[in-house]
Structure formats: structure tokens, C-alpha cells
Amino acid sequence: MAKLRLAGIIRESIVDGPGIRMTVFVQGCPHHCKGCHNQQTWDFDGGYDSTSEKILEEAKKDKLIKGLTFSGGEPFEQAASLAILAKEAKKEGLNIFCYTGYTYEYLVEHFDKRPEWKELLELCDWLVDGKFILEEKSLMLHFRGSKNQRIIDVQKSLKENKVVLSDLN
Ligand code: SF4
């Protein structure tokens, strides 16, 4: 079991990755993107306490849910706890879609200083990376807010040692 600081949960979402998903919004974000729609998630002291166990129990109750989405806030600021949740979720056959304001390359470059980033990334199926850039905002994009953001096939990217885009783009 791992503690998590959350901003909220959406039980059945169809806009945060493929299929019906449970979206977990973590609390706390260091990026402060201009035009962010979730500014209430910035404060690391805001939100409420939860646990990986509670979240997974909630997800298991709904058989329509195909995966978990980690959004925020910045999921990689709670990477160790989300890795524990992701590992348990995968045992239940759920896939993992994760948002981050960091780029994929930045995460990989910092694996030595932040080993929990490696741990979480290795459990993700998809990663939407990069800050939200207001000037690049588009309503035509699937699952992302601005054109700089990429939907990355994480498992292929780790294997090939370079960013491989998902066909969800
Ligand atoms: S990374 Fe996401 S939650 Fe954080 S400021 Fe940017 S848009 Fe908002």
C-alpha cells in the first residue's frame, strides 16, 4: 500500500486515453503552465489523502474500466506511490495511461537521480508528455491539449531507446 495525495478521481472517463478508464488526478504540480485548466491541483499541500489500495478497490468494482489514467497535477512527483498502484493494477489486467509535464527525454535523462521515475515509466503503456502550451492549444487533438504534446508508446520507446509515437496520435 502507498499513500497518495489526490485532487480527485473520475470513475468512468472516455477522454483520458483509450476505452473507459478511471482517471486519478494527483495533487501538486511544479510546472505552472499558462492556461492550465487544473490550477487547483498546483498546491502540494492541497487535495486529500488516499492510498493505492483504496483507488484499486474502487477501480475493481467497475468491470467496464479497462485501465487507469494518471493525471494531475504532476504524476511523476508521486512516482514511487503511483508505481506501486500501477504494478497492482497491471496484475488486475488494467493498462496505464499517464500524463506528465516533463518530456520523455527529460525523464529518461534523470533516471539516475530519480529512480522512481524509471520505475513508473516502465509500468506505463502510454505517456502524454510535455507542458501545456497555450499558443499551441488545439481542440482537434486526441487526449492532449496542445500540439507539442505527444502520445508515446512507452514500451516500444524503452525497447528501442528512442521516442516511438503511439498510433493514438
Ligand atoms: S503540467 Fe498539467 S497540471 Fe501542471 S500546470 Fe501544466 S497543464 Fe496544469
Domain coordinates of the chain in residue numbers?
Answer: 3-160
Q: Residue 146's beta-bridge partner residues?
A: 137
Angle, helices 79-91/52-60, rounded to nearest 10 degrees: 30
User: At the topology level of CATH, where does 3-160 sit?
Assistant: TIM Barrel (3.20.20)
Q: b vs e for 136-161, b when ≥16 Cβ sit within 10 Å of the residue's Cβ?
A: eeeeeeebbbbeebbbbbbeebbeee
At 34, list the grid cell.
499558462
Atom of ligand 1 nearest to the CA of 39: 8
- Indicate the helix (H) or strand (E) that contains 87: helix 79-91
| pLDDT (0 to 100) of residue 42 | 98
The response to whether residue 38 sits with its C-beta less than 6 Å from ligand 1 reads yes
- Which residue has the CA at smallest separation from atom 8 of ligand 1? 36
Bridge partners (DSSP) of residue 133 are none
pLDDT by 10s per residue, the chain, length 169: 899 999 999 999 999 999 999 999 999 999 999 999 999 999 999 999 999 999 999 999 999 999 999 999 999 999 999 999 999 999 999 999 999 999 999 999 999 999 999 999 999 999 999 999 999 999 999 999 999 999 999 999 999 999 999 999 8
